[in-house]
Structure 1
Amino acid sequence: MAALKQMTKLTGTLKALTSTNGYRPQAAKTFYTYVNEPAMPIPDREPCWVKSSEEAIERAGLSSDQLVFVQGAAATPVELLRGLTEYGVRSDVRNVRLCHMHLEGAAPFAKKENAKHFRSVSFFIGGNVRPAVNEGHADAIPIFLHEIPKMFNRDLMKPDIALIHVTPPDSKGYCSLGTSVDCVRAALIKSKKVVAQVNKNMPRTFGDALIHKSHIDFAVQHDGPLPAHPVKAPSDKEERIGKYIAENLVVDGATLQLGIGSIPDAVLAQLKNHKNLGIHSEMFSDGVVDLVNNGCITNNEKSIHRGRIVGSFCVGSQKLYDFMDNNPFIEMLVVDYVNDPRIIAKQPKMTCINSCIEVDLSGQICSDSIGTRMYSGFGGQVDFLTGAAMSEDGLGQPIVALNSTTADGKTSKISPVLKLGAGVVTSRALVRYVVTEHGIASLFGKTLKQRAHALINVAHPDHREALEKAAFERLKAMPEP
């Protein structure tokens, strides 16, 4: 209330300081920072609409040594990134850092020839910047997903410009961040300038997704389809993994967390006879839509956000985006809440299904690298496995699922030891279940020898003898049941 009174008192000052072309000059920044709540309208303030992305970047004042935040996943503002790259190269800016979660679509700023102009800094590495990270002209921050907003909240990163992708304003002036809320809200609050790509095809979502147009400095209309991941039919191996999990580890009334990819989709496809499922997940994809339409997902047994799907960002097909649009059944919330293990632990029968790159015979999980070559990031795996393991009802199911071999079948993904330089994302003390197409290894409370035995039994049969010999060399004794 005190802040509201102060806001009213200073409204006249704001009117005097707000420029006629719609953006706030630096002189008005003190007031704006004081009341910088994205969902609260700023009186008598409009974004400055420009004709092109290059103009928006120029007007926002891009210059050397700045920090630019970029919204990610399906809400990646691909057109703004194109304009940023073209303007930045033409203006010969140097050492502009772009911080972001995983990005979809083209990433021209990450090309080797643009390394002197731009440097990508990923909180989670996407495929479009992965080569740049491994070639040394981009970088990444190992970080739990739920802690990314702390980078902004604690002023460890203070963006000069934020690039976002939103719906057109509604009758009250509200835009929606659509498919990606995650850490965007925290970054917006600390950004000096906000540039928005406004797209009629962005789904309007609710929860923490609202931003009033008065918080946008420059806006450019650019309508186009969102980046999409086509849904692929699961392989026979993935279908078997999905069946093992659905029939043995998912019960009626469970709250689910599933990432994106063939294995989570394979699990969802096997849940059509389950009842009263709920969704509390940092992300979800197309498989959820079918389960909602079949009446399997009701969210009516959740302890908090009952009756609602909770997510933080999404990537999928147009089918998913159509389902999300203007749908109050879905709440898109900030990732420091959705992925907080304490919040996750409150959900009934919290069942978390995550994938990985490699597992060693003690149960250590590598999910972010292939040896020393960086591949992705921590993401929400540890957040959710921890939350499920500490579930308040004692019924949480932390699950890691993977094919038993690489695609060519020549290499076992259950290894005697992790590859040299591989990152341990999930420790062996946290792992509960490891599932492959050959079965379920239950690891909680098992000794090293018992763990090795359980994991060898779900490895591909062609590799089991070699794994037994390696286990004997490592443990100085045979694995035991």
Structure 2
Amino acid sequence: MNILQKIPRMFLKASKRSACLSRSFYIYSPEPLHPLLDKEPTWKTADQAVEAIGSGERVYVQGGAASPQLLVDALCAHGEKAGLKDVEIIEAPIQAKAPYTHPKYEGIFRPSSFFISASIRKAVAEGRADTIPIFLSEIPLLFRRRLLNLDVALISLSPPDRHGFCSLGPGVDCTRAAVQNAQFIIGLVNKQMPRTFGDGLVHSTHIDVLVEADEPLAEIPTISLSPEILEIARLIADNLVEDGATIQTGVGNLPGAVLHKLQNHKDLGIHTEMFSDSVVDLVECGAITNAKKAIQTGKIVSSFAIGSKRLYDFIDDNSFVAMCDCSFTNNQSVICQNPRVTAINTCLEIDITGQVCSDSLGTYMYSGFGGQIDFIRGAAVSLDGEGKPIIACTSTVRRHGSDKEESRIVSNLKPGAGVVTTRAHVHYIVTEHGIAYLFGKNLRQRAYELIKVAHPDHREMLEKAAYERLKCMPSP
């Protein structure tokens, strides 16, 4: 890449940078991507476009349904052909395919992920990739405070409208901040990319190179739900979600199952980090109106969406949906203003004092922080006092390679396990055996409540372990 190509963008951003540091989120994005005079993008093929990437550079890759797969594949081929070395790949959360994690690219690419998905998990475990522990709300700060300087951003865009504006589609999240701070931007203009409203509009003159594409967006398969998950969803829907509530759901089948159980609720609102097809069902049956929300009343607010083509058709050119920067969607001071904020998230393991592990199995890194704490805390400090921070999980799990069920509620977390949601953050824990309310309870009481919702086969063991740990019997 020629240094002269970088100078205009560097000067463009320098005058705005001091304003960007004055606060951590923006109702309107701090650097509006308005039309630039005397600048037009160059159209190239994917192979030609990635030739601008050199050794030792840091490259951002948009994630989720909007991941620019054609550009990623071209980058991998370019890396081998050009003999590149030490190219750092910064992954946005949730990558469907990540070919640069293959062992043959070791030394060429070094991926770093903000949230470990299946595509990078093995590479992290084998030491060929890195993970960055961080709240989703704070990822944009890494770019805006120049803690992670981006040389290149690979993104997907909808075709320009008659005014030259493109859309980041279903993947605004931290990509907006990456686009605002990268020195060189390569955009995949995908004819199948939905055009969304909110923070995702980017004028084409801010893109250095455009590549034409016509490819379907990544979809997540529909997975059958177990009786245990369906029972957890029923317990949450019937006991914890009220009419007029503002809902957040995290990643996974369980939060989606809860939404399926809400079709008889009224005036629900959505303010979340991500959503999928289940939200479309609730809109179509009239359960979601967003009428009671205090922030962006009347709109579904999210930072990214991933699901099926039905979902992408739903968000396309739909004024009912606002796709926003995750520093806004996941900011606690914004979340807490909505009514009856109900945050529904999952985990891997919980100890008898309420410590929640969501990112690792012992020392094995499995996922990440995501927006769990952002919304757990936002619900807990809701201004109306009616927020409900919920952690839900099945009472047992069969780990890969094991022939027996393990309890998710344990006396002690596995050695090396990370605590994502602390015992002080926890309010509600829900399994298929009931609801444990831990807020304000001491350790003895917490152990009692959690043992009640553990699987019956493990309760005696947990009670004995609790006595050994606490030196007293768990009791209400």
What SS does structure 2 have at the residue aligned with 1:25?
helix
Residues in 2 aligned to 1:350 and 1:196: alpha-carbon distance in whole angstroms: 36
Work out which of the residue numbers 86, 99, 110 in structure 1 matches 2:101.
110
Residues in 1 aligned to 2:294 and 2:7: alpha-carbon distance in whole angstroms: 46
Map 1:77-96 onto structure 2 (within 5 A): 77-96=68-87
Shift of 1:431: 0.2
- The equivalent residue for 2:50 is 57
Query: Is 1:474 paired with 2:475?
Result: no
Map 1:18-417 onto structure 2 (within 5 A): 25-33=5-13, 37-51=31-45, 53-58=46-51, 61-407=52-398, 410-417=405-412
Residues in 2 aligned to 1:358 and 1:72: alpha-carbon distance in whole angstroms: 27
Residues in 2 aligned to 1:384 and 1:314: alpha-carbon distance in whole angstroms: 17
- The equivalent residue for 1:437 is 432
Q: Do the aligned partners of residues 329 and 479 (structure 1) sit closer, same or farther apart at CA in structure 2, a change above 3 Å counting?
A: same
Please tell me the residue identity of whatever aligns with 1:247: D
Kept after mapping to 1: 8 A contact 2:64/2:96: no
Query: Is 1:424 paired with 2:419?
Result: yes
| Percent of aligned positions that are identical | 51
Kept after mapping to 2: 8 A contact 1:76/1:103: no
Residues in 2 aligned to 1:409 and 1:316: alpha-carbon distance in whole angstroms: 32
Cα root mean square deviation, aligned: 1.5
Kept after mapping to 2: 8 A contact 1:50/1:220: yes
Shift of 1:27: 4.6
Superposed CA offset, 1:282-323 (max 9, x none)? 001110000000000000000120000000011111111111
Runs of at least 4 residues off by over 6 Å = none
Residues in 2 aligned to 1:297 and 1:263: alpha-carbon distance in whole angstroms: 19
Superposed CA offset, 1:176-221 (max 9, x none)? 0001111111111111100011111111101100000001111111
- The equivalent residue for 1:4 is none
Please tell me the residue identity of whatever aligns with 1:25: Q
- The equivalent residue for 1:15 is none
Kept after mapping to 2: 8 A contact 1:348/1:396: yes
Q: TM-score, normalized by length of structure 1?
A: 0.93
What SS does structure 1 have at the residue aligned with 2:337?
coil
Kept after mapping to 1: 8 A contact 2:10/2:183: no
- The equivalent residue for 2:28 is none
What SS does structure 2 have at the residue aligned with 1:74?
helix
- The equivalent residue for 2:22 is none
Kept after mapping to 1: 8 A contact 2:41/2:206: yes
What SS does structure 2 have at the residue aligned with 1:263?
helix
Residues in 1 aligned to 2:362 and 2:13: alpha-carbon distance in whole angstroms: 44
What SS does structure 2 have at the residue aligned with 1:427?
coil
Per mean C-alpha deviation after superposition, the further-off stretch among 257-266 and 198-207 is 257-266
Per mean C-alpha deviation after superposition, the further-off stretch among 384-393 and 224-233 is 224-233
Kept after mapping to 2: 8 A contact 1:24/1:217: no
Aligned length: 457
Q: TM-score, normalized by length of structure 2?
A: 0.94
Q: Do the aligned partners of residues 272 and 283 (structure 1) sit closer, same or farther apart at CA in structure 2, a change above 3 Å counting?
A: same
Kept after mapping to 1: 8 A contact 2:189/2:211: yes
Kept after mapping to 2: 8 A contact 1:101/1:125: no
Superposed CA offset, 1:341-394 (max 9, x none)? 111111100000000000000000000000000011100000000010111000
Shift of 1:62: 1.1
Shift of 1:29: 3.6
Kept after mapping to 1: 8 A contact 2:47/2:75: yes
Please tell me the residue identity of whatever aligns with 1:76: S
Q: Do the aligned partners of residues 433 and 160 (structure 1) sit closer, same or farther apart at CA in structure 2, a change above 3 Å counting?
A: same
What SS does structure 2 have at the residue aligned with 1:457?
helix
Superposed CA offset, 1:424-466 (max 9, x none)? 0000011000000111000011111110011011011111111
Please list every run of 5 or more consecutive structure 1 residues that lacks an aligned counterpart in the other structure: 1-18
Please tell me the residue identity of whatever aligns with 2:341: M
Q: Do the aligned partners of residues 73 and 253 (structure 1) sit closer, same or farther apart at CA in structure 2, a change above 3 Å counting?
A: same
Residues in 2 aligned to 1:24 and 1:237: alpha-carbon distance in whole angstroms: 59
